[in-house]
Structure 1
Amino acid sequence: MNGEGKVVCVTGASGYIASWIVKLLLLRGYTVRATVRDPKDQKKTDHLLALEGSKERLKLLKANLLDEGSFEHAINGCDAVFHTASPVTLTPTNPQAELIEPAVKGTINILKACAKVSSVKRVIVTSSMATVLFPRSPLKPNDSIDENSFSDPSFCEDKKLWYILSKTLAEDAAWQFAKANKIDLITMNPGLVIGPILQPTLNFSVDVIADFINGKNLFNRRYHRFVDVRDVALAHVKALETPSANGRYIIDGPIMTTNDIEKILREIIPDLCIDDKSEDIDMISMTYKVSVEKVKSLGIEFTPTETSLRDTVLSLKEKCLV
């Protein structure tokens, strides 16, 4: 129990990755202050209250990304903060209001609260591979990606990649603020996250697998990369527990083709047939190389994608979501 006697805050705690972070923290003995927009919304909180250790060491608190100061009561007295809350939609009507403002302003609001509170030793922000994969000149098939790769905001804006832009601007703003205010900041940059869900509803990344089960290859991609939610959550916690941890951490899986995915899913759903358009119509070819050496140095051993896919499907079936 590494977390005994330590108090940490997790923002956006009802989310997919955040729920797993809360689960691991409680199992490791931490006291967790979890912020949600509405603590009375049972759909968002019941799964957290059901976690082992929640009765003794979990406190739900109300906070909103856009209300400056609304996180101070949750963060005050904490040793560390995990900031996971950020909106996800690929089709916003108003990108500025729906994505960019909550992502950027929300991150700065959290960091401002952390800067005011002397107890906070480290802040871990959930960023994304979105902030890595979209440089000014698009990636070529054999390009190598590591923690020094950054997406270009003007490229994202030109191409109307609003979600990617929101994550990129939020991470940029976080690094600038942390530098100016001497905050020990770490960002986690996961790819498309799959694996069992704790919350009762579908989230964006697991929805991609639900689409496969329903016979759709939503992105019309030939290649995919997935990373397991349990690995992502553990990497967050290890980033807190490893004194030498610093900077950004890429967390992404190996390449899989649509056929590979169909083969694995067929073992569980025999009559499955996926629409394979067999073209990678993304602006980036998924065959670039990704270095995950840095996150492995935290002691993360990656769950095989086959296991993640199987566990995702079983979890969706158990929750009657497919």
Structure 2
Amino acid sequence: MVGKVVCVTGASGYIASWIVKLLLERGYTVKGTVRNLNDPSKVAHLRALEGADERLHLSEANLVEEGSFDSVVDGCEGVFHTASPVFLSVSNPQIELLDPAVKGTINVLRSCKKVSSIKRVVITSSMASVMFNYNPLNPDVVADETWFSDPVFCEEKKEWYALSKTLAEKAAWKFAEENGLDLVTLHPGYVIGPLLQPTLNLTSEGIVNFIKEGKQLLAGGVYRYVDVRDVALAHILALENSSANGRYLLVGRVAYSFEAADILNRIFPSLNLPPNTRENRPASPPFQVSKARAENLGINFIPLEVAIWVAYLTQLRGGRPDRLLDLMARSRSRSAS
């Protein structure tokens, strides 16, 4: 793919950073957007990637400013729209989540509509736009790409992040159909794996909190795990595979939180994690998520055990096995100061 030009919005994010890395490795020229070019925590790790000096061009863009993406998508063959706020707790859902997600998506698509060279737009959606509905869940259920979250359900449950992803996806498909854009949406679950950015993202922080304080990863206890490297690769395959279309769910394994804790206890016993004493552990997950379309796209999901090991016990930058403990120590130091 040497010489091809693509755009990645929200390039400094957890998933987006990996998309940029893999794109550069494949010879693409990447035009990435960030909110602040002067923030080293947002751009330094991108500029340090192999090939970045020659083929990575970063610029600022604002999700809610119409036309903000016009210049950055100009001349591109593909656009990866990953930029969207991720908050589980907000005081003003409309301003903090819904407007940036929905208006931001439409702003990007409006810019893409103006560029005849763009062959496909790939949007990073979420399992949050799939699973939040009234569908019953039991071990015999297999969620697939025909599932959609219900906005009414999301509002009733005050699941504002899920609502933002649901409304943004709905708006994206409507715009694409009305304007003849070739669109693919990807729906990752709880993303784990190695960090490229210097700060903890939300999902990595969940593991750190468990290790530091013995907290369960999040309330609910059931997770749809996927490795960030699988998610990034799926984005690129969704662009490169001419037959790719529609929605793709990206979940390597549905597992209870105690299963992840057991894995951490086995591979890093020196952390002295509190043992999980839950009795009558279920023998099977409460539901399954179909892998068929993702596997047809070319994804061979990394096992959960490997994803957790690589994510939290090693770090790609230098292969440091103490990286997680360093992050924890700095977090404690900030709390104490």
In the superposition, the TM-score normalised over structure 2's length comes to 0.89
CA contact (8 A) 2:82 2:124 kept: yes
Counterpart of 1:165 in structure 2 is 163
Deviations 1:14-35 (A, max 9, x none): 0000000000000000000000
Instruction: Give the Cα–Cα distance (whole angstroms) in 2 for the partners of residues 309 and 191 of structure 1.
Output: 15
253-262 or 201-210: bigger deviation: 253-262
251-260 or 71-80: bigger deviation: 251-260
Query: CA 1:63–1:278 in structure 2 vs 1: closer, same or farther (change >3 Å)?
Result: farther
213-222 or 289-298: bigger deviation: 213-222
In the superposition, the TM-score normalised over structure 1's length comes to 0.93
Counterpart of 1:282 in structure 2 is none
Query: CA 1:223–1:160 in structure 2 vs 1: closer, same or farther (change >3 Å)?
Result: closer
Q: Pairwise mapping of residues 112-191 of structure 1 onto structure 2 (< 5 A)? A: 112-191=110-189
> Any stretches of 5+ residues in structure 1 without a counterpart?
280-284
Counterpart of 1:296 in structure 2 is 295
> Any stretches of 5+ residues in structure 2 without a counterpart?
316-321, 329-337
CA contact (8 A) 2:217 2:257 kept: no
Instruction: Give the Cα–Cα distance (whole angstroms) in 1 for the partners of residues 308 and 25 of structure 2.
Output: 24
Counterpart of 1:21 in structure 2 is 19
Instruction: Give the Cα–Cα distance (whole angstroms) in 1 for the partners of residues 34 and 14 of structure 2.
Output: 13
CA contact (8 A) 2:80 2:122 kept: yes
Is 2:264 the partner of 1:245? no
CA contact (8 A) 1:188 1:251 kept: yes
Instruction: Give the Cα–Cα distance (whole angstroms) in 2 for the partners of residues 275 and 64 of structure 1.
Output: 45
Is 2:94 the partner of 1:88? no
Is 2:312 the partner of 1:318? no
- Aligned residue for 2:203, secondary structure, equals helix
Q: Which amino acid in the other structure matches residue 135 of structure 1?
A: N
- Aligned residue for 2:85, secondary structure, equals coil
Query: CA 1:155–1:286 in structure 2 vs 1: closer, same or farther (change >3 Å)?
Result: farther
Superposed CA RMSD: 1.8
The Cα shift of 1:272 comes to 2.6
Instruction: Give the Cα–Cα distance (whole angstroms) in 2 for the partners of residues 234 and 69 of structure 1.
Output: 29
CA contact (8 A) 2:207 2:217 kept: no
CA contact (8 A) 1:8 1:78 kept: yes
CA contact (8 A) 2:19 2:236 kept: yes
Aligned positions, number:
315
Q: Which amino acid in the other structure matches residue 245 of structure 1?
A: A
The Cα shift of 1:287 comes to 1.5
Q: Percent identity?
A: 55
Query: CA 1:271–1:200 in structure 2 vs 1: closer, same or farther (change >3 Å)?
Result: closer
- Aligned residue for 2:255, secondary structure, equals strand
The Cα shift of 1:261 comes to 1.8
Instruction: Give the Cα–Cα distance (whole angstroms) in 1 for the partners of residues 159 and 94 of structure 2.
Output: 12
The Cα shift of 1:95 comes to 0.3
Instruction: Give the Cα–Cα distance (whole angstroms) in 2 for the partners of residues 268 and 97 of structure 1.
Output: 42
Instruction: Give the Cα–Cα distance (whole angstroms) in 2 for the partners of residues 277 and 114 of structure 1.
Output: 53
Q: Which amino acid in the other structure matches residue 187 of structure 1?
A: T
CA contact (8 A) 2:252 2:302 kept: no
The Cα shift of 1:277 comes to 8.3
Counterpart of 1:228 in structure 2 is 227
CA contact (8 A) 1:216 1:275 kept: no
